[in-house]
């Protein structure tokens, strides 16, 4: 990911440039292409989902961790069952990183 030096937001590739929501733009050079392996361009209206251990940008909520008792967790929704069933809520403790889920 490339971050905007002006506001710190994630910049997305579009028309051979990295563009930020604040208006800052940076040309995608061959050096950047090699660094990021740019395979497709994303329009700003598209939704991009990142998964992995780095969830620091996710929203937080007041929820008790069943493992350590901490009262704050990151949360996200994910469709894990059929499309006609509701999403699954996932939580990850901000302290011990334990992840659990809740169903509706």
CATH of the domain at 65: 2.20.25.10
- The parent domain of residue 73 ranges over 60-102
Q: Is residue 49 part of a domain?
A: no
Query: What dihedral angle (degrees, nearest 10) is formed by the CA atoms of 90, 21, 27, 52?
Result: -10
Instruction: Detail the residues annotated as belonging to a binding site for Zn(2+).
Output: 4, 7, 20, 22, 65, 68, 93, 96
| Torsion sign (Cα): 41, 45, 89, 10 | positive
Active site residue 84: yes
Q: Is residue 6 part of a domain?
A: yes
Q: Is residue 48 part of a domain?
A: no
Residue at token pair 């989902």: 49
Q: pLDDT band for position 39 (50/70/90)?
A: low
Q: Is residue 32 part of a domain?
A: yes
Statement: residue 47 has pLDDT above 70: no
- pTM, whole model, 2 decimals? 0.47
For the residues 91-96, what does the mean pLDDT come to? 92
Sequence-distant (≥ 6) Cβ neighbours of residue 59 within 8 angstroms: 74, 75, 76
**How many domains, the chain?**
2
Q: Is residue 77 part of a domain?
A: yes
pLDDT of residue 58: 85
Active site residue 2: no
Residue among 25, 64, 85, 102 flagged as catalytic? 85
């Amino acid at each position: 990911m490339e971050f905007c030096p002006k506001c710190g937001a994630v910049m997305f590739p579009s028309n051979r440039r990295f563009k930020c929501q604040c208006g800052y733009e940076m040309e995608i050079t061959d050096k950047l292409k090699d660094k990021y392996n740019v395979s497709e361009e994303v329009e700003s209206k598209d939704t991009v989902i990142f998964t992995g251990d780095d969830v620091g940008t996710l929203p937080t909520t007041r929820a008790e961790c069943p493992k350590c008792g901490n009262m704050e967790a990151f949360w996200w929704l994910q469709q894990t069952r059929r499309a006609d069933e509701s999403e699954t809520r996932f939580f990850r403790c901000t302290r011990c990183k334990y992840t659990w889920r809740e169903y509706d």
